[in-house]
Amino acid sequence: MRLKVLVVDDDTDVSYPIVTRLEWSGMETQCVASGQAALGVLERWHPDVALLDLGMPGMDGYALARHMAGAHPGVALIAVSGWGQPEDVARCRNAGFRAHFVKPVDLDAVSEAVRQAAQRR
């Protein structure tokens, strides 16, 4: 069965290469540009892993992660962010993210982290 990955990022220069790499690796993806749009996807599609941009306007990645922890607790979370200070990484861990990547991301590392997160759910 193919892994299902939800990618949520308001910057297509970031999300498009990630989606392309994950699909090339055999994963099924859905990509949206906002936390609000992700809520709609989650009503009809159940991902194994979600890659969330932390700094989106409106509903940011942290707010979306809180929602998902309550409504979709089986989804493993990975952060993709422009914020990479130690306190940012610690905040992600405390919010339940399994991994934290700073933009620009290493696509191979993201793909491997998705596989590992799915195995540990």
C-alpha closest to that of 14 among 27, 33, 38, 29: 33
pTM of the model: 0.96
Give residues with Cβ within 8 angstroms of 115, minimum separation 6: 3
pLDDT of residue 11: 96
State residue 1's pLDDT score: 80
CATH of the domain at 88: 3.40.50.2300
Find the domain containing 55 and state its range. 4-119
Tell me how many domains the chain contains: 1
Over the stretch 76-107, which tens digit does the pLDDT of each residue have?
999 999 989 999 999 999 999 999 999 999 99
Place of tokens 């309550």: 70
pLDDT per residue rounded down to tens, the chain (121 residues): 899 999 999 999 999 999 999 999 999 999 999 999 999 999 999 999 999 999 999 999 999 999 999 999 999 999 999 989 999 999 999 999 999 999 999 999 999 999 999 998 7
What residues contact 47, with CB distance under 8 A and at least 6 apart?
A: 4, 5, 6, 30, 75
pLDDT at position 120: 84
